[in-house]
Structure 1
């Protein structure tokens, strides 16, 4: 099945923008049908547990799943996807459409307001996008707004986005992404990231929930927002309490003992397997789309541009040799018990346009490693071995299995004496700051898609001002990204997406490793757990 996203056509409304993403378009829920008596106080208080830390509640200052998990509950979006689908439709917008190839016009619903009583108008919408572009925080999602030229608010309920390139095939999805939360201009700073305390104190919320109490990465309490007027409807529970656990073992104990109702990110594969045998809980699997990869800092990696031995050809040889030594299948099987699968491309398998260039270009040509090929690449480039690799990873954000995963990579990379690998682990909040400040030459990252389209695996990574901040700069790739974003012919667009994957596979800005699924473990009496291809975990439909 091909995916045709015809957003660029003049006058096309958001209601026509169905997104179908093959195996990614499924939906898993803890109940097929709700019993009709959930809602409001009848839904009870839902206790959620996670190890996925928050870096910032300010949309301009974070681009990670732990932070976005909170934002999804408290901020509204112009466009969003309803439960069980990745299809984009108006949220607090009344309508949204292209009124010219480079103008996207949104009409807001009447009577919108924030929890603090401030009116939510087009001025707040303009402010939300203008400040994100202006702040351009390295840990934020400003890279998603690369095609935005300007925002106008001609009246209180009208917003006009002017785009640099016409026929943008992904702009409506950008409005539902981490770049899209609408915030209160009377609470947030126009030119700096606003602190969590200021946001909570200012009650700058207009989503399905407001934050009732907040202890950073310890406990967040939510209560339904009676003034939410978006498309998702009112919360079906009376409150939600989210506890942040230091590690997966404590999270597993909490859900297994019934101390919490929902465990979502990040249990180990062994934990999930064990919990499947616990008759007090149910394991809910959702469509895949998460990917794991190693990022190379082009300035500080071996032979990087700002190292004493700078040599781009040798740096490329190092990246290629590592790609030749990888045995993804062994890690997927031995570490993750096949809950992850090998990834041989930059676009998640099953997404329209996904190809497997890494399988063809590196290793034995069939997904396995080839140490002789790795040695030849280094020798041909004049690289003396062993090369020292300082490789950073994180266990609290990406799960406790990360330690075993990266120990396996260390063994693989050191095969044949080509590399000496120094592994180091850092706590997530510090890690997220360091990795965008040139602290780590090579480091682990994961990706949870913002929207169900191949572009989301390409443009955030490979535009010049990308969120990786790894100094990768390929003008040909950047132009191809513009081309695929603005190509209205589905077949041609998929062809360009394939060309991008081939080009970046040669450069190896990142080294894709594995692809995973969404997993939640919930109590037997919990209903409404919805894991779908929007990759947003919503608390509002949860009841017990």
Structure 2
């Protein structure tokens, strides 16, 4: 699901974006062997420069061939093509190639200049001034101007409506365009993670067709979308990064059924298969290659706290004790997953609260005892609604149902089409329990804000004044140690209150044709095709 941290940027702020401002993740350590600890941003300005070298293809063995087409398998349709309305992670996965903001993340989770060339932050931290990169064009051939950024970010901030489209823009009071190359953003309060919000898409001013004919500035431009079949992108020949992209065309082919997707990939109909099952990855022959690693995703079993019996914390604790996470990781992920105990992945190393993964040890008798205390000695029945296009979540539900039956909880699994899941469960909160994965963000606030009592995305129906107050305090806390401590306190509260069952960060397995190179994994739910190329 779609649901975006920063150190103190308000003291000693002068530094070069050529060195890149490393934001708040210790990233992909298990995947890359490196631990990129978060570093403070000690300056008030970032001087202009070319986008990070990580934006360009990395040379690999074999001669690079320019051009060519690639077919990428995805399990779901996008929810909206309009980037300001989309909430599904699967949409961001695709449209990352189409849209850009003032800034953009790379595969290490670091931000680098995109539409912006440089920026400056006022000493009080309330005014951000950006200079735009010259020569950036929308896919319709029009040059990007400050008025476009103003329109886009005012829309996201809800300046005209009073209702922000993205929570990360809620503190914005004004967006000004004093000239065609300058954007000034004013905040009502310090926001320690505001820079990460500026990865949000910039679209043309007053453009009304974003949901049918989206226009961005990214390395690929939108061609067409056939619901249930495909979404096609073509190379943006006017992209401002030299040599990017290499590919001429990318087709995201929508195949919800995993077995059908596997057969299509193995037969040569597709070239990249993200989120392929571990056992399927192992079946592939020498003509294929695979990459695997943690993906900063939190898989959770959610129960509706507003409904009985889950309004009783003892019932929620019993469910947690009844779920054997180790068995789920071994049986469903074939060992390729990291056990969780909170709504953050260990990839978010600076903010991750260790030790919560075993807060509720697997204990059938303890679970039964808690159920008896809550008045459910004979158990109860519950419907577990799972998006049918995600085989991994369906398999998790099947194993979890068996585990819960051992303590008297009778589970009926309801497969739900993705569009229905989004509308009825994610937006409508009409469910008893569900299993889903939430994609990671650069800012832990944007991961945890779905638990705010007044959040429209609070499908947990969690309601805690203490949580609300603590999470909101993270926004303006510029002392990094204190801010980190607040995020750890929040994770501990969610664990103690058994707000959900936090299962695992399953590894992302990606299968590719052997003569494809340049593919990069992100700690975000994206497929970056700008760096991919064919080799001899």
Name the TM tier (shorter chain).
Answer: 0.7 to 0.9
Q: Say whether the 8 Å CA contact 1:141–1:467 is kept in structure 2.
A: no
Q: Where does residue 281 of structure 1 map in the other structure?
A: 288
Q: Where does residue 172 of structure 1 map in the other structure?
A: 195
What whole-Å deviation, never above 9, does each CA across 1:266-312 have from its counterpart, x for those lacking one?
x222212212xx1110001244312200223333x3247xxxxxxx4
Out of 308, 314, 319, the residue aligned to residue 302 of structure 1 is: 308
- Are the structure 2 counterparts of residues 303 and 133 from structure 1 closer, same or farther at C-alpha, using a change threshold of 3 Å? farther
- In the superposition, the TM-score normalised over structure 2's length comes to 0.85
Out of 430, 442, 457, the residue aligned to residue 433 of structure 2 is: 442
Q: Say whether the 8 Å CA contact 2:343–2:447 is kept in structure 1.
A: yes
Q: Is 2:59 the partner of 1:33?
A: yes
Q: Is 2:405 the partner of 1:414?
A: yes
Out of 201, 208, 223, the residue aligned to residue 219 of structure 2 is: 208
Q: Say whether the 8 Å CA contact 2:451–2:460 is kept in structure 1.
A: no
What whole-Å deviation, never above 9, does each CA across 1:476-534 have from its counterpart, x for those lacking one?
21222233333333332222221111112223333211112222111111111111335
Q: How far is 1:438 from its partner?
A: 2.2
Q: How far is 1:210 from its partner?
A: 1.0
Q: Is 2:352 the partner of 1:354?
A: yes
Secondary structure at 1:55 match in 2? coil
Count, aligned residues = 500
What is the distance in 1 between the residues matched to 2:242 and 2:508?
A: 21
- Are the structure 2 counterparts of residues 23 and 89 from structure 1 closer, same or farther at C-alpha, using a change threshold of 3 Å? closer
Q: How far is 1:408 from its partner?
A: 1.1
Q: Say whether the 8 Å CA contact 1:46–1:543 is kept in structure 2.
A: no
Q: Say whether the 8 Å CA contact 1:394–1:427 is kept in structure 2.
A: yes
Q: Say whether the 8 Å CA contact 1:281–1:521 is kept in structure 2.
A: yes
Secondary structure at 1:153 match in 2? strand
Q: Where does residue 526 of structure 1 map in the other structure?
A: 516
Q: Say whether the 8 Å CA contact 2:221–2:236 is kept in structure 1.
A: yes
Equivalent residue runs for 1:60-139 within 5 Å: 60-82=84-106, 84-99=107-122, 100-134=124-158
Secondary structure at 1:423 match in 2? strand
Q: Where does residue 11 of structure 2 map in the other structure?
A: 9
Q: Where does residue 182 of structure 1 map in the other structure?
A: 202
* Larger deviation, residues 405-414 vs 15-24: 15-24
Equivalent residue runs for 1:311-390 within 5 Å: 312=311, 314=312, 316-350=313-347, 351-356=349-354, 358-359=356-357, 361-363=359-361, 369-383=362-376, 385-390=378-383
- In the superposition, the TM-score normalised over structure 1's length comes to 0.84
- Are the structure 2 counterparts of residues 56 and 147 from structure 1 closer, same or farther at C-alpha, using a change threshold of 3 Å? same
* Larger deviation, residues 486-495 vs 438-447: 486-495
Q: Say whether the 8 Å CA contact 2:278–2:509 is kept in structure 1.
A: no
Q: Where does residue 268 of structure 1 map in the other structure?
A: 277
Q: How far is 1:233 from its partner?
A: 6.0
Q: How far is 1:169 from its partner?
A: 2.5
Q: Say whether the 8 Å CA contact 1:27–1:287 is kept in structure 2.
A: no
Q: Is 2:255 the partner of 1:245?
A: yes
- Are the structure 2 counterparts of residues 464 and 71 from structure 1 closer, same or farther at C-alpha, using a change threshold of 3 Å? same
- Are the structure 2 counterparts of residues 360 and 65 from structure 1 closer, same or farther at C-alpha, using a change threshold of 3 Å? closer
Q: Where does residue 472 of structure 1 map in the other structure?
A: 462
Q: How far is 1:450 from its partner?
A: 2.6
What is the distance in 1 between the residues matched to 2:147 and 2:370?
A: 56
What is the distance in 1 between the residues matched to 2:453 and 2:521?
A: 30
Secondary structure at 1:220 match in 2? strand
What is the distance in 2 between the residues matched to 1:463 and 1:50?
A: 33
Secondary structure at 2:154 match in 1? helix
- Are the structure 2 counterparts of residues 98 and 441 from structure 1 closer, same or farther at C-alpha, using a change threshold of 3 Å? farther
What whole-Å deviation, never above 9, does each CA across 1:415-441 have from its counterpart, x for those lacking one?
132x22121011112211111202212
Q: Where does residue 308 of structure 1 map in the other structure?
A: none
Q: How far is 1:57 from its partner?
A: 0.9
Q: How far is 1:410 from its partner?
A: 0.9
Secondary structure at 2:203 match in 1? coil
Higher helix share: 1
What whole-Å deviation, never above 9, does each CA across 1:310-329 have from its counterpart, x for those lacking one?
xx4x3x22212111211000
Q: Say whether the 8 Å CA contact 2:336–2:506 is kept in structure 1.
A: yes
RMSD: 3.0
What is the distance in 2 between the residues matched to 1:184 and 1:209?
A: 16
Secondary structure at 1:292 match in 2? strand
Equivalent residue runs for 1:122-161 within 5 Å: 122-134=146-158, 142-161=166-185
* Larger deviation, residues 506-515 vs 464-473: 464-473
Secondary structure at 1:5 match in 2? coil
- Are the structure 2 counterparts of residues 478 and 112 from structure 1 closer, same or farther at C-alpha, using a change threshold of 3 Å? same
Q: How far is 1:11 from its partner?
A: 4.2
What whole-Å deviation, never above 9, does each CA across 1:339-365 have from its counterpart, x for those lacking one?
2232122211242221246445423xx
